[in-house]
Structure 1
Amino acid sequence: MAEVKVKLFANLREKAGTSELQLPGEKVIDVLLSLTEKYPKLEYLIFEKPEGESEAPVMCGSINVLLNGNNIRHLDGLDTLLSDADELAVLPPVSGG
């Protein structure tokens, strides 16, 4: 199981009270579930509410998760495998001008 650096931005960082932490996981989904278990206030910001309890978690369409700078949507999504020293960046939608 990999140990990855997780970086949080904007309101995710504010709700967690930290901008960076280390979490273990084999896949991206494992790390995100650990993150929301550690910081329950982040769950509704990262995951959509599944219809049934047996359904797998679905990432909110507005959240971007980057693995070493690459959007996981262009990799294997939540099933993207992780390695030690990987870095996950979790970014909420941001607007401004």
Structure 2
Amino acid sequence: MADVKIKLFANLREKAGTSELQLSGEKVIDILLSLTEKYPDLKPLIFEKLEGESEATVMCGSINVLINGNNVRHLDGLETLLSDADELAVLPPVSGG
């Protein structure tokens, strides 16, 4: 299990009431599930509910999760392995000028 620093931005930070926390997990999915268990209001912002599925474990297409600045979509997605001292940033879609 890796101890990972999680940074939340924009509406995710507002819903959780914190911008940073520490969680442990082996893979990105473990961290995101722990995060949404701790802060249930984040679940619909991070995961999509698929028809016919009881649990939502597909990341929303609009959310970006970065490990040490690298998007997990360019790594092994939710199955990306984590190491101690990794920093995981969770970013919602942002618009504006």
Q: State the alpha-carbon separation in 2 of the partners of residues 23 and 4 from structure 1.
A: 6
Corresponding residue number in structure 2 for 1:79: 79
Q: CA deviation at 1:50?
A: 2.5
What amino acid is the match of 2:63?
I
CA distance in 1, matches of 2:78, 2:39: 19
Q: Which runs of 5+ in 2 are unaligned?
A: none
Matched with 2:25 is 25
Which stretches in structure 1 are left out of the alignment for 5+ residues? none
* Letter of the 2:94 counterpart: V
The match for 1:9 is 9
% identity of equivalent residues = 85
Task: Report the Cα offset of residue 84 of structure 1.
Answer: 0.2
Deviating above 2 A after TM superposition, structure 1's stretches of 4 or more consecutive aligned residues are none
Taking structure 1 as the reference length, the TM-score comes to: 0.96
In the other structure, the counterpart of 1:62 is 62
Task: Say if 1:21 and 1:3 are closer, same or farther in 2 by CA, change over 3 A.
Answer: same
Superposed CA offset, 1:31-60 (max 9, x none): 00000000000000000012222x661000
TM-score (structure 2 length as normaliser) = 0.96
Q: Contact 2:47/2:56 (CA < 8 Å) preserved in 1?
A: no
Equivalent pairs, count: 96
Structure-1 separation of matches of 2:91 and 2:24: 19
